[in-house]
Amino acid sequence: MARARRWHPGQESDELVFSVCDRFLRQLGSQFESQGNGGDKDKERKGAAAAVAEWLKEYYGRDDLTRERIYPLFWEAVRRNFLFLQAPRERRLAERLAEQYHLASTEDDSGIHVVNANAQDAARHVTSATADLVLDLVDRVIERRKAETKPGDAPPSVHIGMGAGFATMMVAKRLAERVRSDLDCPPLVLHALSAGGFLVNEPQKAPITYFSYFEDTFPKVEYVALFTETVVSLKEDYERVKRGPGVRRSFERRSEIDIIVTSLAAANHEHGLLVKFLTHLIEEGVLKADVLEQMYAAGWKGDVQFRPYTDTGPLIEECPVRAVTLFELDEMVELARTDGKYVVLLAGPCGECGNPKVEALRPLVANPDLRLWTHLVTDVQTAQALAVIADRE
C-alpha cells in the first residue's frame, strides 16, 4: 500500500498562504476589538485559527487544513517574505537631536530617523527602516520628474548608489524583497560605490554581490558595477586606475545617482572593513606595524566608504592607502546639499557584534563640513548617547 505523502506548508500556493495570513490577522483584530483587552488572548488566537480553518473548508474545499495547520502556514508566509514589520520611530528624540546639533529642517523634518527596537535586534531593524526609507525617496525622485516626463515617454529610472559593508548588504536584501512585491516600483539602476571587498571569505560585503538579490524583480533592475581593487597605495596609482576601461565608465555615470545608501565604521572596531584591510596589510608586511597607532594619534574616528575622518574633517595624509570609490567625503557633503539628491546614512550598532558606533557618528552630526547625509537612520541607544554628549558640551 502506498504511503501517503506528509503535508508540508511549503507545498501550498502563494495565493493560499497569503490568504490564510491575511484572514488570520483580520479575524484576530476583529476579535480583539469586540472583546476588549480583558479577554483570554490565547483563546482568542485559537478562535481566530479555527475561524480561518472553517473559511478554508468553505472557500477552498480544504477540510485537511485544520486549526493546528494554520500556524505553520503563517510561518510559511514569513519565510516567503509576505510579511514586513516596521519598527516604530522615536520622533521626539529625533527632534531633540536636531535641536541640539543645530540641524536645519528639510522636507522630511530634520532627516533623522530614530528606530525604537530592542538593543539585540536594533541593527536589523535599522537596516529594514533604511530600505523602507529608500523606497520613499524613490517616490520623491519620481514625483520631482513628473514635470519633465511627456505623455508616451518611458518611465524614468531612479539610480541608487550602494556602499560596502554588512549593514548595506542587509538594506539591499530588504530592498529587493520590497521591490519584488511592489508592482508600482519604477525602474531602478543600482551603482556600486566601491569595489568594497578584499577578504576572499566575505564577498557578500562587496556592493557588486548585492545585485544578485534583484535578479528576479520586476521591472528589471539594471546595474553599474565597479571592477577595480578596493584600495591603491599612491595617488598616481589612483588616477591610473580611474582611467582604466573597467572603471572610467563607472565614474562617468556617477552623476546619474539620485540616492546614496552607505553606512559608517568606527576606527577602533574590529569589524570595520578599513580596519580589517589595514590590519591585513600589516600582517602581510606591506605596511609598518605602527600605521594604525599613527592614525589614532591623528584623531581617526571612523570611515565612510573606506575614507577615514577625524572630528574636524577627512584624514588624508596619515592614511597609507586610497580607496577607489565614486565619491570622496567632501563630494558626498556637496551631494547632500544638492536639491533632488539624497544620501542615506545607516548609523545603527554593528550588525555582527552589536557594538554601537557613537564616537564615529558624532563628527558626522556635529560638524557641518562632515554632514554627508540628508537622512540619518539610527537606533534609540545611539541617539540617546548622542543626546547625552550634546548636553555635556
pLDDT at 1: 45
CA 239 from chain centre, in angstroms, equals 30
User: How far lies 62's CA from each of 3, 16, 66, 250, in Å?
Assistant: 20, 11, 9, 54
Distance CA 271, CA 350 (A): 8
pLDDT at 44: 58
β-pairing, 188-192 with 222-224?
parallel
pLDDT at 378: 95
Q: Locate 157 and state its grid cell.
A: 529610472
Distance CA 25, CA 45 (A): 10
Distance CA 241, CA 246 (A): 9
pLDDT at 33: 55
Burial of 187 (0-12, 13-18, 19+ CB in 10 A): middle
Angle at 15 between CA 10 and CA 17, to 5 degrees: 45
* Nearest one of 167, 75, 76 to 127, comparing CA atoms: 167
Tell me how crowded residue 38 is: count the other CB atoms within 10 A of its CB. Answer: 5
Q: Please, are residues 348 and 122 in contact by the beta-carbon 8 Å criterion?
A: yes
Per-residue pLDDT tens digits of the chain, which is 393 residues long = 455 568 998 899 989 998 898 888 888 766 655 555 555 555 556 688 899 999 999 999 999 999 999 989 988 888 877 877 788 899 999 999 999 998 876 555 669 999 998 777 888 899 999 999 999 999 999 988 887 777 777 778 999 999 998 899 999 999 998 888 777 888 999 999 998 766 666 777 788 889 999 988 877 899 999 988 888 876 678 888 888 887 999 999 999 999 999 999 999 888 888 888 888 888 888 888 899 999 999 999 999 998 999 999 999 888 888 889 999 999 999 999 999 999 999 999 887 788 889 999 999 999 999 999 999 999 999 999 999 999 887
